[in-house]
Amino acid sequence: MLSRRNKLLLFKLLSLFSVVRGYNILVITLAQYLASIFILSPQTSLREVVLDLNLFLIVTASGLVIASGYIINNFYDAEKDLINKPRKSMLDRLVSQRFKLTTYFILNFLAVLAASYISFRAVLFFSSYIFGIWLYSHKLKRVPFLGNLVSASLAIAPFFVVFVYYGNFETVIFVHALFLFLLILAREMIKDLENMAGDMAQNYKTIPILYGPKVSKIIIGFLIVLTLAPALLLIKSFDVGYMHLYFIACIVLLGLFIVLLWGARGKKHYVWLHNILKFIIVAGVISILLIDVDLVINRIL
């Protein structure tokens, strides 16, 4: 049996994991490695990619900055989250605000330190990334639509730094990136609908608060329709192996999403819509393996 002190320590660790969204960081780390292996450097051996110290430091620095970003976002949104996410907020509050800020600075320091082993340009990139996340959390997230754009841009930044590292600027990479960006942007706008109660209480000027849920739904629907364009391009114009099955499934799911979006009336519905987009994004990470099934089999065996 765990002692009371050990139980409290365990709950605090769970609280910190919840604040930094450890599960999201694991998915992003996996996505960076899978993209490196199967999209950005398919001719490089698996051993070379996995044992590449610079890539490991890039992925590590990305994870540290993202974790610190979740902390600073949680710090500024503490009051709002009490309304929008009361259960999660109670767990998050097991760790003091002072400890969160201390952890935030430590993680950022470690990220820049890791980047310094790569190059001065990497230090500049991750320093700018840290500043961008802070600026978004402190100011920009309160600006309608601009906050959503910045949030989506920050979300794909870890993938940008990896394909810059490999110097792979093929058109197919940008089409993949556009697909992901539009999905994330739509998800950010769904979150605004989901969090309207807390946003109104804290005087956030989001699109559904300023112009109403109907206008927000129209914009989200338009973004989903735009997302179909890169999905169709990736099916018809590029060789993505069996991953074309994923994009076909996405088109079906996104069609269902639009139908459900128009009928959505409350937070419960918006949470479901949010989860559909999250599922599509996470499934996309795993589906990278479908680009070259023979390569996957050969590298496993």
* CATH number of the CATH domain containing 71: 1.10.357
Neighbours of 201 (CB within 10 A): 13
| Same-domain check for residues 163 and 194 | no
| Same-domain check for residues 162 and 26 | yes
Q: What is the mean pLDDT of the chain?
A: 86
Structure tokens at 57: 């430091």
| Same-domain check for residues 212 and 158 | no
* Residue 125 pLDDT exceeds 60: yes
- Local structure of 90: helix, strand or coil: helix
Q: What is the mean pLDDT of residues 134-144?
A: 89
Q: What pLDDT does 62 receive?
A: 96
Structure tokens at 50: 């996995």
* Residue 87 pLDDT exceeds 70: no
Phi, psi of 239, rounded to the nearest 5 degrees: -85, 100
Q: What pLDDT does 269 receive?
A: 93
DSSP string, 114-155: HHHTT-HHHHHHHHHHHHHHHHHHHTGGGSTTHHHHHHHHHH
Do residues 122 and 61 touch, judged by C-beta distance below 8 A?
A: yes
Nearest of 19, 261, 40, 11 to residue 162 by alpha carbon: 40
Q: How many CA atoms lie within 13 A of 188 on its CB side?
A: 24
Strands, E, within the chain: which ranges?
none
* Residue 10 pLDDT exceeds 70: no
Q: What is the dihedral of CA 228, 229, 231, 232, to 10 degrees?
A: 110
Q: For the chain, give the percent of residues with pLDDT over 70.
A: 87
Nearest of 175, 178, 267, 190 to residue 221 by alpha carbon: 190
Q: How many domains does the chain have?
A: 2
Burial 91-121 (b: 16+ CB within 10 A, else e): bbbbbeeeebeebbeebbebbbebbeebeee
Q: What is the mean pLDDT of residues 141-165?
A: 90
Q: What is the mean pLDDT of residues 6-30?
A: 75
CA angle, 66 then 71 then 72, to 5°: 100
Lowest mean pLDDT among 35-49, 82-96, 127-141: 82-96
| Same-domain check for residues 163 and 195 | no
What confidence category does residue 204 fall into, taking pLDDT thresholds of 50, 70 and 90?
confident
| Same-domain check for residues 257 and 161 | no
| Same-domain check for residues 157 and 190 | no
Q: For the chain, give the percent of residues with pLDDT over 90.
A: 53
| Same-domain check for residues 133 and 267 | no
Please, what's the largest Cα pairwise distance for the chain? 60
Taking CA atoms, 165 is separated from 28, 58, 84, 181, in Å, by: 17, 9, 39, 20
Structure tokens at 89: 């907020």
The more confident residue out of 236 and 75 is: 236
What confidence category does residue 300 fall into, taking pLDDT thresholds of 50, 70 and 90?
low
* Residue 2 pLDDT exceeds 70: no
Helices 22-35, 146-166: axis angle to 10 degrees equals 40
Query: Domain for residue 89, yes or no?
Result: yes
| Same-domain check for residues 154 and 197 | no
Domain containing residue 211: 186-301
Query: Domain for residue 177, yes or no?
Result: no
Structure tokens at 285: 């990470």
Q: What is the mean pLDDT of residues 221-239?
A: 94
